[in-house]
């Protein structure tokens, strides 16, 4: 993993874009792991269909990744000549095997690592200058100068080994003349934490869980520097109730979890709905149900996020569409939660959360989240006043003349518990109205193209879908993209505009049951014969398979149109 991280850093320093997807076995800690990289001159949000090179530090358990590392006859399988043969599952691809003396190179070099030999070799194959590889290594190892020199030496040796592969090696990347400024190297989990900070979050409570833990690891020192607080709770029940308490006290608050943790938080989220307390839950989705596949990605928490609470409990559900968008969407979620005094769930996933990418710096939106706060000594203060917007002033505890009861019981406008039908209906209408009438602006979705065939998707699949649409266009098939960012409340009027002129819709997602398609059908009249393309994790959807599916689907729609 270290070699992959440094290679991505070097690519960024050279002016390239890049994506590194982290993958590991079924265990949460330790064991085999792989860094899957893609580098190029344009922003990258998905892996390609095949890898040009597999560089193995050792062959142990590598067969477990065979499905995740598709190779072809033009690919290279590079491994230590003293470690035996590559697994048959990999050689069956027809890729060329190349021996690299990893252990022999570091033998006798005190403090040198075999993966630094691999870094030099891999960087040379990609076409990176040795100087940027050295620069990345120096930045990472500056606190250990003795080991640094040993590893610089073996890095250069690994770089030199690649020179003997002329005629076999993939086409190297062209390097920009000048490395552009203003790009970030960041993971989705780090970006989500940054977005929370930028929106004004100053209290975080959470229980560590794969693959969301890095959100907390990034936030802990950042919050300390800003005078905020992060608490590691004893479990998810405690963490969700802690952030409800902090938000009730006037501090924008957030927690981060995965599917099992979100399930435990259900009752408390309902409390936040009823008491109208703004909180944000970042759910970094993983393979489910139950413990599932902790270290792999899947978009299978959607149905739970939009429908998984008892009673009529309107809440915000958002999904970033890329690693960089994890920042802006989390920031937006905090602002919406505060403005609407409602819980917001941000559906990230392991693919975005634990992957690192070189991204253009996300634009600053300015300001912090604002909630409507009651003034002191407000005459006849009604915490849950049935206002036209559904939003009523929220008093901060201790504000003179604004005492009210906040709990999970249904209540009057003043907050007094009530079981009267009129009070229940009024508050249900109020809580729904504030979310449905709010103007969310253009950020609710990314809408691209004007074709009469549309692809609807959400979350991390957006990258592969967008690339597949571009490839389809090169083959004469025009498609419109609608990548949803605001999933709940669904925006029927905005969807009408986005799908104007569309005659058929295909919904693409990474789960077993087609949850997004079912959700859309339950709340919106999709045009034509809406169908779904969905499969579960842990393997990501790739642009090539989507391109083939899109072209076949478009051909069928053309045939149907002709028969009509």
210-221 pLDDT per residue, tens: 999 999 999 999
* Residue 11 maps to a domain: yes
Say if 542 falls within a structural domain: yes
* Same domain (yes/no): 108, 196: no
Q: What is the CATH number of the domain that holds 488?
A: 3.40.50.920
Domain boundary among 342, 360, 378: 360
Q: Looking at residues 284-288, what average pLDDT do you find?
A: 98
Which contiguous run of DSSP H or E holds residue 114? helix 114-126
293 shares a domain with 336: yes
One-letter-per-residue 3-state SS of 432-463:
HHHHHCCCCHHHHEEEECCCCEEEEEECCHHH
The enclosing domain of 310 has a CATH number of: 3.40.50.970
Tell me if 130 sits within 8 A of 156, measured CB to CB.
Answer: yes
| Strand 203-206 relative to strand 96-99, pairing | unpaired
For residue 421, being part of any structural domain is answered with no
Whether 561 shows a pLDDT value over 80: the answer reads no
Instruction: Report yes or no on 392 lying in a domain.
Output: no
Q: What is the pLDDT of residues 69-108, one digit of tens each?
A: 999 999 999 999 888 888 888 899 999 999 999 999 999 8
Give the model's pLDDT for residue 39: 98
- Domain end point (choices 320, 341, 360): 360
The domain that holds 146 is classified in CATH as: 3.40.920.10
Question: Are 147 and 206 found together in one domain?
Answer: no
Residues 7 and 155 reside in one and the same domain: yes
Whether residue 337 is contained in a domain is answered as yes
Q: Are residues 191 and 98 in the same domain?
A: no
Cα 548 to chain centroid, rounded: 25
- 189 shares a domain with 140: no
- pLDDT tens sequence across 348-370: 999 999 999 999 998 877 667 79
Quote the pLDDT of residue 514: 98
Domain end, chosen from 137, 165, 193, is at 165
Sheet holding 480-484, edge to edge: 445-448, 480-484, 453-458, 504-509, 531-534
For residue 122, give its domain range: 2-165
107 and 190 share one domain? no
Any domain includes 479: yes
Total domain count for the chain?
3
Is 533 within a domain?
yes
Same domain, 13 and 58: yes
Structure tokens that stand for 175 in this block: 């390097």
pLDDT, tens digit, for every residue of 182-231?
899 999 999 999 999 999 999 999 999 999 999 999 999 999 999 999 99
Residues 126 and 197 in one domain: no
- Identify whether 437 is part of a domain: no
């Amino acid at each position: 993993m270290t070699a992959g991280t440094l290679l991505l850093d070097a690519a960024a320093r050279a002016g390239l874009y890049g994506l590194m997807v982290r993958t590991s076995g079924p265990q949460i800690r330790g064991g085999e792991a792989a860094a899957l990289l893609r580098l190029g001159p344009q922003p990258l949000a998905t892996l390609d269909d095949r890898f040009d090179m597999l560089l193995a530090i050792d062959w142990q358990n590598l067969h477990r990744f065979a499905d995740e590392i598709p190779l072809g006859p033009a690919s290279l399988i590079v491994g230590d000549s003293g470690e035996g043969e590559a697994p048959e599952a990999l050689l069956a691809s027809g890729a060329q095997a190349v021996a690299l003396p990893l252990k022999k190179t570091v033998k006798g070099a005190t403090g040198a690592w075999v993966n630094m030999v691999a870094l030099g070799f891999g960087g040379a194959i990609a076409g990176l200058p040795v100087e940027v590889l050295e620069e990345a290594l120096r930045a990472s190892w500056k606190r250990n100068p003795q080991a640094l020199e040993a590893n610089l030496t073996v890095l250069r040796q690994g770089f030199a080994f690649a020179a003997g592969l002329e005629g076999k090696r993939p086409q190297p990347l062209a390097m920009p003349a000048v490395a552009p400024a203003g790009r970030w190297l960041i993971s989705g989990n780090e970006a989500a934490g940054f977005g929370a900070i930028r929106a004004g979050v100053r209290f975080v409570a959470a229980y560590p869980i794969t693959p969301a833990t890095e959100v907390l690891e990034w936030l802990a020192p950042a919050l300390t520097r800003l005078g905020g607080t992060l608490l590691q709770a004893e479990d998810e029940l405690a963490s969700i109730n802690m952030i409800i308490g902090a938000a009730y006290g006037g501090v924008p608050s957030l927690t981060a979890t995965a599917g099992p943790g979100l399930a435990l938080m259900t009752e408390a989220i309902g409390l936040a709905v009823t008491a109208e307390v703004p909180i944000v839950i970042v759910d970094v989705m993983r393979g489910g149900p139950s413990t599932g596949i902790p270290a792999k990605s899947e978009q299978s928490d959607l149905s739970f996020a939009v429908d998984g609470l008892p009673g009529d409990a309107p809440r915000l559900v958002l999904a970033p569409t890329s690693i960089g968008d994890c920042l802006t969407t989390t920031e937006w979620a905090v602002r919406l939660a505060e403005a609407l005094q409602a819980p917001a769930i941000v559906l990230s996933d392991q693919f975005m959360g634990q992957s690192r990418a070189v991204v253009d710096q996300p634009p600053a939106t300015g300001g912090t989240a604002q909630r409507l706060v009651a003034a002191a000594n407000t005459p006849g203060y009604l915490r849950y006043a049935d206002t036209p917007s559904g939003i009523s002033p929220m008093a901060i505890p201790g504000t003179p003349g604004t005492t009210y009861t906040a709990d999970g019981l249904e209540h009057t406008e003043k907050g007094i518990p009530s079981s009267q039908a009129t009070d229940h209906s009024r508050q249900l209408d109020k809580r729904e109205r504030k979310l449905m009438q709010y103007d969310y602006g253009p950020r609710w979705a990314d809408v691209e193209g004007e074709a009469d065939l549309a692809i609807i998707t959400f979350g991390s699949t957006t990258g592969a879908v967008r690339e597949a649409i571009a490839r389809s266009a090169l083959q004469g098939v025009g498609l419109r993209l609608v990548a949803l960012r605001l999933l709940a409340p669904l925006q029927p009027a905005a969807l009408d505009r986005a799908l104007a002129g569309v005659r058929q819709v295909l919904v693409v997602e990474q789960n077993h049951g087609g949850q997004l398609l079912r959700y859309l059908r339950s709340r919106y009249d999709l045009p034509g014969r809406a169908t779904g393309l969905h499969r579960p994790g842990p393997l990501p959807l790739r642009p090539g398979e989507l391109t083939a599916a899109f072209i076949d689907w478009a051909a069928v729609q053309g045939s149907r149109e002709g028969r009509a």
